[in-house]
Structure 1
């Protein structure tokens, strides 16, 4: 879709599958951008439906009606730019999506085909000296151990280390289209990259993989791009048509030399490190889609990034008002409670009323001012007399937030509405 022909306004972006870690990262990177109208879709019931305000369910990639349903969704939402969050999806969409009237971020068909196959990747860059030695004849292996992995795997899935011919045979039998290469015993890094529409490699961001769970680096540090790492990224960029975010995995061999494990034409799971340093790779892709020349401004003092599992509670209850207690709920240890403030502003975004409900013994306005909480945050402030039950001021349907259990019990018994302690605030309406 030529940019000159598009209507003005935000770019209509689809993230698929939306519930993956990559999909969630793209959502966080783009959800507040004025340049983007964000949509998500998934083939299963997952977190994508909670994280994307506009969301659809699609059949699985191998379903006979996937292409027709996907194309129909693009037309219905008038999607302009698609981010694929899985290598198989990227490879499937790349040769098709242009005829469906949309653009796939970094979706050159040849680049996606080569990236999806480790064997094709090794063939493409066999002359470079930075690909691991391949063993096409398992019977001819003389240097042990060796690495076994599926040709179309990702994130270390299906990887095995074989110490001898017997374990090699077992490992090869356990995966589809096994690939056997030299074993690389050294340090492994991920390298996030960005190439623009002029085929310029604008960003090379290596990062460590210090604690890995399920193939995802949970602790990473940004690293300097040494000459070898930069040269490998430049060589891949020069050989293939890349436009948008992509990444590669490197590991040192027994002599300490960097060797290529794989590369991918999509955003990486750990690209949050780049975003934390001020390099928002999905947003750069949107700007490049709009044919705007972009520049990189990375913060060099970023030290480390830690990941963790997040929780999102879904409340099956319709309400229009949330009542907050003041002492030890909104106001804790002399300052505003950050969790309560986050929930309050999120509920305002959702169009809910906020009411402060308290028997605070002092001057409420002075207490709020000391905590730097604006009284206008609340639609109403109800100052109860001592001994007056809080249930008397509550009108259902509503939520009630109070740190004191007897108060929650009294309100629950009187109104039957959901009541929560402060420990639940970080789980609600994220």
Structure 2
């Protein structure tokens, strides 16, 4: 079957990077990325383009050209403002925007609009028109169109509230909720059925993004909130909402969004790939959710990716303590090797290994056929003497790297850098 052309925009956001990881190996997808700023999205997407900001007068024309050139079928919007902008315009471009209903996008972008739509529900927090209406302190101040807890301030007096309000755009004054906070990832299909409700904790948050999350069972109250949101808003694809407990332990709505959440990887590793479900849903396939409940906790951290400003054709790798450590294959080196093979590079193994190299490779379960050439050096023979052409050199031993770098002037790398090269 022909692959579906999927565009992720903005692809360098945490949401965009999660979609890339979730769909990168799918047989159904040809993945494309675009961003309005130069970031790491271009390192992860082989098919990548830069676009103006959505506020730029040239955006619509440039965006339409890109959709046509790449023959895009399916679009993931990875920021709430981008979703709100694209949703009422997407029909003119004949592309399916995941969860891109205009009403849903408008309501989800505004906490005030969300609270008004569900004003008759007991799980909507109390909110006040102005400080004069606040019955007791503390209360919470937050921007109407913020996300990820950004701009949220706890104020304990009228004076603190007035000071905080002066620094917020479209501030909301809400009751203070002191209890547990959860993000609830959901999925609604093309028939309007709510297929998945997956709460997760926010145990460590950096920049509004949950870096430590634990899967939590959805109780009846959370199931009811999800069901009511799904009934009142046209939803199709991944979406999420956040809840927090009040002083009595009752769940109250903080906000909702009609896009994928940045930490939905918690469910993907447990068997629920929400971006891939959106692709299947685009094809109008009925789906079942199969969860691997033994996976409960996900820790996230910053990753470093290096960019090499050097065109090369070959890679020369040392054997002992580089490709193999303590008799076993080095996982980072093996990942590096297979990535280079996918890039079409020549691999040459260099070694002064004392013993039968074939036996050592076999014990480490490394196939000799991985390499275009294997060069066994004599004692004292410099490695620079056998390296040819535009190449890079990997060796754990500093004197070897120094000799090659000074003699040939090519890039040299230690084993600890491999995880940062060619992700």
User: How many angstroms apart in 2 are the aligned matches of 1:158 and 1:404?
Assistant: 49
2:421 paired with 1:428:
yes
User: How many angstroms apart in 2 are the aligned matches of 1:387 and 1:15?
Assistant: 53
User: How many angstroms apart in 1 are the aligned matches of 2:263 and 2:350?
Assistant: 43
CA deviations over 1:311-361 (Å, ceiling 9, x no partner): 100000000110110000001012000010010000001110111010101
Please name the residue that 2:141 is paired with: 148
CA shift at 1:385, angstroms? 1.1
User: How many angstroms apart in 1 are the aligned matches of 2:134 and 2:352?
Assistant: 79
Please name the residue that 2:226 is paired with: 233
Instruction: Flag structure 1 segments of 5+ consecutive residues without an equivalent.
Output: 1-7
CA shift at 1:137, angstroms? 2.8
CA shift at 1:393, angstroms? 1.1
User: How many angstroms apart in 2 are the aligned matches of 1:39 and 1:425?
Assistant: 26
User: How many angstroms apart in 1 are the aligned matches of 2:65 and 2:407?
Assistant: 49
TM-score normalised to structure 1 length: 0.97
TM-score normalised to structure 2 length: 0.99
CA shift at 1:263, angstroms? 0.6
CA deviations over 1:273-292 (Å, ceiling 9, x no partner): 01110111000000000111
CA shift at 1:396, angstroms? 2.4
Q: Is the 8 A contact 1:211 1:217 kept in 2?
A: yes
Instruction: Flag structure 2 segments of 5+ consecutive residues without an equivalent.
Output: none
Please name the residue that 2:318 is paired with: 325
After TM superposition, what 4+ stretches of structure 1 lie above 2 angstroms from structure 2? none
CA shift at 1:303, angstroms? 2.5
2:33 paired with 1:40:
yes
Which residue of 219, 238, 259 maps to 1:266? 259
Q: How many aligned positions are there?
A: 423
Q: What SS class does the counterpart of residue 179 from structure 1 fall into?
A: strand
Please name the residue that 1:74 is paired with: 67
Q: What SS class does the counterpart of residue 56 from structure 1 fall into?
A: strand
2:152 paired with 1:163:
no
User: How many angstroms apart in 2 are the aligned matches of 1:294 and 1:115?
Assistant: 25
User: How many angstroms apart in 2 are the aligned matches of 1:275 and 1:137?
Assistant: 42
RMSD: 0.8
CA deviations over 1:29-57 (Å, ceiling 9, x no partner): 01111100000000001001111000000
2:302 paired with 1:309:
yes
Which residue of 249, 252, 255 maps to 2:248? 255
Please name the residue that 1:51 is paired with: 44
Q: What SS class does the counterpart of residue 17 from structure 2 fall into?
A: helix
Please name the residue that 2:113 is paired with: 120
Please name the residue that 1:99 is paired with: 92
CA shift at 1:66, angstroms? 1.1
Q: What SS class does the counterpart of residue 269 from structure 1 fall into?
A: coil
User: How many angstroms apart in 2 are the aligned matches of 1:263 and 1:423?
Assistant: 41
CA deviations over 1:110-163 (Å, ceiling 9, x no partner): 011100000000001111100100101321212111111111111111111111
Q: How does 1:60-71 map to 2 (within 5 A)?
A: 60-71=53-64
Q: Is the 8 A contact 1:396 1:417 kept in 2?
A: no
User: How many angstroms apart in 2 are the aligned matches of 1:419 and 1:191?
Assistant: 46
